[in-house]
Structure 1
């Protein structure tokens, strides 16, 4: 569903992403890990069509800048950006109109209830805390029922209830066949549901690890620190 092939992104002489390839299929949760400056955010923004790059990125077989791809993709950025003079409910109505959704109201109400925003529907974007803005961002991204969702540090700023509900929703989306790509520093938050992990360092994917490859008693955190703080990694051969 999300297919990145030989993608390179440069900022002048700096190569932020160096010939990256990864794939996330339907019903698969892929985790993107790496230290600060590894190139994760650049990759995420490129997948979502926010940056120019060399190579190929497709969503459901469509070029990622196309209208067809954008209809399939949901994006939850690390730093939510809301319209300051729109209310919480008007944000959802704006998304519904932009995507030409029909009978969207019940789904909107369910999302608002899940994230304890049902009593905040008339609050303006500028009146919300960062945590509430993040919740609105999640609701807007999931309202059109995307078939692929990209999360960039989705748990940052959320309260315990919001974290629990988002993790439940992510599990539900995965079960329904949605492709999920999650960039995070909170490794333990992904320990339960991940299928494949891409570990990045210095603009490269240096290890691809599938859950079934872990040794007994080994955690995703163990793999991450072995790669990033252990011996010099060898680049993982891509299919």
Structure 2
């Protein structure tokens, strides 16, 4: 489970996130949407333990992120929009490294399955520095999935992916959620969020405009009994001055 309780983050005099509270249960996929600068990446980075909260409490798998940073990192996978890989290591060596760090059982079988799923099996001996942008993204996801974390945080994961890569990633997210992971995805691709997420958190200037199920969010903006799309609901919500509320 992922949980934020009155989460605040400030950089000097700039407030990036203010009073954010939400939870993602095992099996749920929460879409994090909002304009640039809304606080999406800040929220994911704080949950992963990369940056400290200014105030409030963040939890992953029942562990306080600040009090138990190592244990949280063992339970969390964070894939940023520009993954930092080891350029001199091959695809296979990346997988071996993560398997060793996280003490993955049956690592060889899991590695083969992931590389096959993400069409990297033929690149196993290629260095990361020679991979395309999309292939680097796929490798980062494979490394994240290898140790079966309880919480998966994906920041703009579709960047650089071709259509088959996008399809494979979405299918993998659904499968990981079905296996019990709590997942958060930040993206500007609202149709993708609508297709794979169970819930949505709409951010604007660091504050929540809405947090709840996608169906409930769209129902607030239906017209003549016709449900709005997530995109229509998003633009209607961001046009409102006040938060549009939350629903389970």
TM-score, structure 1 normalization: 0.95
5+ long unaligned stretches in structure 1: none
Find the counterpart in structure 1 of residue 240 from structure 2: 231
The 5-angstrom pairing of residues 131-142 of structure 1 reads: 131-142=134-145
TM-score, structure 2 normalization: 0.91
5+ long unaligned stretches in structure 2: 220-225
The 5-angstrom pairing of residues 179-198 of structure 1 reads: 179-198=182-201
CA offsets per residue over residues 118-137 of structure 1, 9 Å max, x none?
11011111111111110100
3-state DSSP class of the match of 1:92?
Answer: helix
3-state DSSP class of the match of 2:167?
Answer: helix
Please give the alpha-carbon distance, in whole angstroms, between the structure 2 residues aligned to 1:235 and 1:21: 15
The 5-angstrom pairing of residues 29-44 of structure 1 reads: 29-44=29-44
Please give the alpha-carbon distance, in whole angstroms, between the structure 2 residues aligned to 1:211 and 1:8: 24
CA offsets per residue over residues 108-154 of structure 1, 9 Å max, x none?
11110111111101111111111111010000000001121011001
* Cα deviation, residue 236, structure 1: 3.6
Find the counterpart in structure 1 of residue 227 from structure 2: 217
3-state DSSP class of the match of 1:35?
Answer: coil
Higher relative contact order (CA 8 A, sep 6+): 1
Please give the alpha-carbon distance, in whole angstroms, between the structure 2 residues aligned to 1:207 and 1:233: 10
Q: How many residues align?
A: 238
CA offsets per residue over residues 8-62 of structure 1, 9 Å max, x none?
1111110001111111000101111000111111111111111111211110111
The 5-angstrom pairing of residues 1-239 of structure 1 reads: 1-53=1-53, 54-65=55-66, 66-213=69-216, 214-215=218-219, 216-228=226-238, 230-234=239-243, 236=245
Checking the alignment, whether the CA contact within 8 Å between 1:34 and 1:199 is kept in structure 2 is yes
Find the counterpart in structure 1 of residue 222 from structure 2: none
Checking the alignment, whether the CA contact within 8 Å between 1:205 and 1:235 is kept in structure 2 is no
Please give the alpha-carbon distance, in whole angstroms, between the structure 2 residues aligned to 1:217 and 1:234: 20
3-state DSSP class of the match of 1:107?
Answer: helix
CA RMSD of aligned residues (A): 1.6
